[in-house]
């Protein structure tokens, strides 16, 4: 199993969710976050002065999936969330050791179906 953590631009959330509805994932966690990449945020002009804005709003998606669909999920997020401009985000993939569905006690792949 893999845990896919994607940080995307907030306005892309609906499109990514729509695209993921075509893939057989069992759930998704969405969190409003702030962060920066290589540009370390950006600068904004406010009343004539330039201010550095360190952290920009982003959306973090967390999706636990069986190994077989991990690549498809990553590709689906990547092709939907891309604008080609800086700040499009990143997708992190980690090994996922265990999952339990609390209601039934099912574990691992059964808990993801
Ligand atoms: N190394 C990292 N570790 C954790 N979070 C990161 C990392 N890089 C980027 N992020 C998260 O992803 C968001 C978007 O990153 P961003 O797309 O600006 O990365 P980048 O590597 O600078 O790429 P780009 O050059 O396309 O802007 C950041 O605001 C941050 O929340």
Give the mean pLDDT of the chain: 91
pLDDT surpassing 80 at residue 76: yes
* Contacts for 81 with CB less than 8 Å, ≥ 6 apart: 6, 8, 9, 12, 15, 16, 88, 89
| Ligand 1, CB within 6 Å, residue ranges | 7, 35-39, 56, 58, 86-90
What percent of the chain has pLDDT above 90?
73
Residues counted in the chain: 113
Question: How is domain 2-112 classified at the architecture level of CATH?
Answer: 2-Layer Sandwich (3.30)
Residue 51: strand pairing partners: 44
State in Å: Cα 109 to ligand 1 middle: 30
pLDDT at 45: 60
Structure confidence at residue 38 (pLDDT): 79
Collect all residues with Cβ–Cβ distance below 8 Å to 98 and sequence separation of at least 6: 107, 108
CA of 8 to the centre of ligand 1 (A): 9
- Per-residue model confidence as pLDDT tens digits over 33-68: 988 887 776 665 667 766 567 788 899 999 999 999
């Amino acid at each position: 199993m893999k845990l896919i953590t994607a940080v995307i631009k907030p306005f892309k959330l609906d499109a990514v969710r729509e695209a993921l509805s075509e893939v057989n994932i069992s759930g998704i966690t969405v969190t409003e976050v702030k962060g920066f990449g290589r540009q370390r945020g950006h600068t904004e002009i406010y009343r004539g002065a330039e201010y550095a804005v360190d952290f920009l709003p982003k959306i973090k998606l967390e999706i636990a999936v069986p190994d077989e669909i991990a690549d498809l999920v990553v590709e689906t997020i990547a092709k939907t969330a891309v604008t080609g401009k800086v700040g499009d985000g990143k997708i992190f993939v980690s090994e996922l050791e265990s999952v339990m569905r609390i209601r039934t006690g099912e574990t691992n792949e059964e808990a993801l179906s």
